[in-house]
Structure 1
């Protein structure tokens, strides 16, 4: 199922996409878009409109002389440079009409910016005054060009280093918790054995009293027991 696009307002340069240069006070359906087109983003410039579909097609209409549109700029003869119907923008990336990984489109007064590559690439075209196209120049571009990302300065590097330290700290904390979880069963087993040894010592004392009528004392043990080194079970266990 496709999407439908409705526009209204000023239409002097065909920016409404109704096939005329007339304004409209009520929403009207844009003519010329494919019926199965699924739109994910739309934006309006000063005299042009742009939409992006889920499969990477970019459609523009309105004032071509504003340079925000220009998919087929000619400006010859009596051509006003206006597109009254949507036109597809050519993609230098695929040498066709699809941009990979489309995300969002934004229109300036006379230029257009497309976020694509699943958020990792930007394309810009139109009027380049004041460097708005982000390619290190102020010249206009009639075709989409890749926006140049600036090199990281010291502030960005410090932020990135801080983020890396934070990630490392979280990883170390996770490793500590994992180690504690692994050691928890061993600690429980040791505590269980200690309780059993204590119980055995108490039982040995009771047994000694019942037989010899006096408490169990290391000093009263036969020399052979002392030499065996197995009397103090608790001490041997702890060592």
Structure 2
């Protein structure tokens, strides 16, 4: 049995206007606590986090970077300097003007917040030194944590029930607080009163993502390995055992699988791989592993979410609920759902994973800081993006497959070396036949936006263009997009394209995918039609990594 959390007391213009209006206001209506705020005030909200043992506290920031709090104020977690509950939003002057980058909270509750400048502030419950200020006195106002974090820029924060963890921009992890099960990773079980760097197996690793369960900690490093430490009574560390781990240990069962993100529930863990697959392990009394039963798992187990690629996973250390969003935008949930058990991923009508926790989880808290950017003022980048394919301001047209794409010569020359050498001032129309309309349009739009928008199946053509024009960053973006479309049927074709265009990252990704799905891949038509030299190299490389070992 897993432990329960400790109780705590239309026209195009009209459509565009509608979309902009939606962007300007954060949708917080599904969380009951916001019924205490006036509609006029809600319209100003740009960031928000509902937290606490029953979703009875909230912190939010407005469009002018003012910070407000509201709710029960257990253990001084509102940061107002007292322990008084409030049904009227109160301003936190000490945080106003500081742009919030990320926020997490514990069960006490205590709050850990990082600003865009990388500063860390904590307040609230502190009986286990989870505020990192060297004491066990509750903190009723936000105070900056500076010990051992001077000259460090914090980019991510995570809290367990009573311990805290932060990730710096140089890939280092620091922890402090409750350590009865080794969750701060120091090698002992003594509480840690100030931030100290987690070393051991992480000493020479660059960490890219962190997460906390109630009494355990997780870190993903840049090569996709996952390291875990802390409480393991429900197998939530994924090590194949139930013994606690006082220092970071790599999950050996994920060998050869490259993890991108990790998310922790109360006593279960989810990871998302670079192939868009989910693995889960740990406590399962509510079906939160999505395996179809309620048996705990101490090894990573595949979670099947339809046939679509997963792009986001969500869990919260105060709940037994799991959620995921697919590439096509569908949102699934499983685990505890209003007290009931959902043992396999269930398709919801939601468009974001946040709504799963607002409507189904117990307590109804946010699994992350909700954030939206204001759209009233256009930055330089936004202004340029708006002018792409605008015939009213353009001075050059590309004719591709009988369609025009309107652009600006000066921007093309600034952004692309190829155009600096080929564009003439008297050019008005340029016909392009070497590439398809979707590919060339995506390329020109990339010059305006720094991003690419096209289906993964068309990205190989864009990869060809990027190679020809020597656009290295575009080449990297193409590889990321192509990865999203990989399956057993096209893996060899994508591997061949990666070799042809010297896309080394994509080549390695496709090779690993083929090895992980070797039986099916070798039975496809693509494998049968494989170029002789490519086949020879593939077999040689596969042999070296032990793919044909009995």
* Range class of TM-score, shorter chain: 0.5 to 0.7
- TM-score between the two structures when normalised by the length of structure 1: 0.57
Q: Alignment partner of 1:131: what SS?
A: coil
2:199 aligns to what SS in structure 1?
coil
Q: CA RMSD in A?
A: 3.3
| C-alpha distance 71-167 of structure 1, shift in aligned 2 (>3 A) | same
1:110 aligns with 2:215: yes
- Match of 1:92, SS? helix
Q: Which residue of 2 aligns with 1:230?
A: none
SS in 2 for 1:164: coil
Shift of 1:71: 1.0
Which structure has greater helix proportion? 1
Aligned-pair CA distance for 1:162: 7.4
- The match for 2:194 is 85
CA apart distance, 1:167: 5.7
CA distance in 2, matches of 1:8, 1:41: 17
Query: How far apart are the structure 2 equivalents of 1:162 and 1:19?
Result: 50
Match of 1:38 among 153, 159, 173: 153
Aligned equivalent of 1:53 = 168
Is the 8 Å Cα contact of residues 185 and 248 (structure 2) preserved in structure 1? Answer: no
The alpha-carbon distance between structure 1 residues 141 and 123, as it changes in their structure 2 partners (threshold 3 A), is same
SS in 1 for 2:488: helix
**Equivalent residue number for residue 130 of structure 1:** 234
8 Å contact kept, 2:149–2:195: no
Matched, 1:25 2:149: no
Partners in 2 of 1:4 and 1:37 — Cα distance?
Answer: 8
Determine helix, strand or coil for the equivalent of 1:65: coil
Decide which structure has the larger Cα Rg and report it.
1
More strand by share: 2
SS at match of 1:129: coil
Alignment-derived partner of residue 165 in structure 1: 489
Q: Distance in 2 between matches of 1:165 and 1:70?
A: 43
- The normalised TM-score by structure 2 is 0.26
CA distance in 2, matches of 1:15, 1:151: 30
CA shift in 2, pair 1:146/1:23, >3 Å = same
Distance 1:30 1:41 in 2: 14
1:170 and 1:125 map into 2 onto residues whose CA distance is 38
- 2:79 aligns with none
Aligned to 2:205: 99
Q: Provide the C-alpha distance between the structure 1 equivalents of 2:181 and 2:495, rounded to a whole number of angstroms.
A: 52
Name the CA distance, whole Å, in 2 between partners of 1:98 and 1:12.
Answer: 32
Residue number in structure 1 paired with 2:179: 64
Q: Deviations over 1:162-215 (max 9, x none)?
A: 71325668899xxxxxxxxxxxxxxxxxxxxxxxxxxxxxxxxxxxxxxxxxxx
Contact 2:162 2:177 (8 Å CA) reproduced? yes
Tell me, which stretches of 5 or more residues in structure 1 are unaligned? Answer: 76-80, 173-239
- Kept in 1, the 8 Å contact 2:238–2:300? The answer is no
Equivalences, count: 159
Alignment check: 8 A CA contact 2:160 2:215 kept = yes
Q: Which runs of 5+ in 2 are unaligned?
A: 1-115, 255-298, 310-484, 497-550
| SS of residue paired to 2:229 | strand
Indicate how the Cα distance of structure 1 residues 117 and 99 shifts in structure 2: closer, same or farther if over 3 A, else same: same
Contact preservation (8 Å) 2:148, 2:195: yes
Which whole-Å CA distance do the structure 2 matches of 1:144 and 1:46 have between them? 19
- Cα distance in 2 for residues equivalent to 1:8 and 1:47: 12
Q: Please give the alpha-carbon distance, in whole angstroms, between the structure 2 residues aligned to 1:146 and 1:107.
A: 16
Select the structure with the greater relative contact order (CA < 8 A; seq sep ≥ 6): 1
Give, in whole Å, the separation in 2 of the partners of 1:3 and 1:170.
40
Tell me if 1:141 matches 2:245.
yes
